Amino acid sequence: MNKKFKLSNNMKLNILLLLILTVIIIIAQENLDEYKLRILNLCAIYTILGLSLNLINGFTGLFSLGHAGFMAIGAYTTALLTMPIAVKEKNFFMVPLISPLDKIVWPFLPSLLLGGALAAIVAFLIGAPVLRLKGDYLAIATLGFSEIIRVIFTNTQRLTNGALGLKDIPNKTNLYWSFGIAILTLIIIVSLINSSYGRALKAIREDEIAAENMGINLFKHKILAFTMGAFFAGIGGGLLGNLIGTIDPLMFRFFLTYNILLIIVLGGMGSITGTIVSSFIITISMEVLRFLDERINLGFVTIKGIPGLRMVIFSLLLMVVILFFRNGLMGAKELTWEVVLKRFSKKPLSKGGIQQ
């Protein structure tokens, strides 16, 4: 009785939050300037990417560094499918695009989904042999695969325009898409984690051998997490490509994976809410720190901007976080309504309903 009440209470609060968020998004999309919109979009996209990498690394304990590769697949698929024919011709002036693709123009959503699906298929094919490896070996093999994908994209000029990259990708990404998909990703991943699959994944993370002895099919669960993570990475990549408007293979170097890794480590490996919070913190602070690169006028003295100082400060902050807050912001904990509400009221929410 109590439990049911609590659940619906949570649900109500969730729906309320969702409604408030929707209103904020609508207002933001209509009123904010392009720069701020871009940052907000990036926050949502990094949330998607962070959640998907956290599913693989944080919840399943598979040390994968292949996210940039999957993102590249999604970004290129989405970009190639959504580009108008004229833009395609302009982009591929050196060598023409291969034949069926140069005539096809798809709407945004199916392109995104196909991008995600292709990333998932590649992840499945890669995962089958590679997921036998463990720890560092898995990390380096997945890193290797993402680099191979990048090198292939650099060299298949008729498909990807090679090192020149793609320009003038239609800016289909807006706050509705990015936040909508971020919320959808959140719902899907949370329900996966709270299902019996999720418990199996956590069991694998804690102790693989013990999990296997309990009858958990290691391979099936690992590949599920890996493929699903890659699917969302592909979608995140697609959103990113269509937000920025230009992509090239150099964008998808392993630095990109590191950035997402930082998000999940700062947020706490194995914490969903932590990932969301830190996606916003990292994306926004990367922008806020941009002033360091520019000229600072303090009235009486002008400090000459030093290009690159932003990244120095950023990496220093990262070191501080890793050295002094080892479990990230949240550890493996979640920010739940109980925790939030307890902060605001000293009284228990419903008598005896919460403290178990």
Contact footprint for another protein (CB under 8 A): 57, 63, 129-130, 132-133, 135-137, 139-141, 143-145, 147-148, 151-152, 154-155, 209-210, 258, 261-262, 265, 269, 306-309, 311-312, 314-316, 318-319, 322-323, 326
Nearer to another protein, 19 or 214 (CB): 214
Nearer to another protein, 143 or 201 (CB): 143
Q: How far is the CB of 151 from another protein (least distance, A)?
A: 4
Judged on CB neighbours under 10 Å (0-12, 13-18, 19+), 257 is buried
**Residue 249 DSSP class:** G
Nearer to another protein, 161 or 173 (CB): 161
Q: How far is the CB of 323 from another protein (least distance, A)?
A: 5
CA distance readout (Å), 24 to 21, 32, 173, 176, 203? 5, 11, 17, 11, 38
Q: Which residue in the block uniquely carries the two structure tokens 């090679």?
A: 162
Tally of residues, the chain:
356
Nearer to another protein, 208 or 334 (CB): 208
Q: Is 204 helix (H, G, I), strand (E, B) or coil?
A: helix
Dihedral Cα 157, 140, 236, 102, nearest 10 deg:
10
Nearer to another protein, 314 or 337 (CB): 314
Q: How far is the CB of 119 from another protein (least distance, A)?
A: 18
Residue pair 278/263 in contact (Cβ under 8 Å)? The answer is: yes
Q: How far is the CB of 264 from another protein (least distance, A)?
A: 9
Q: How far is the CB of 63 from another protein (least distance, A)?
A: 7
Measure the CA angle with vertex 105, ends 22 and 103; round to 5°. 175
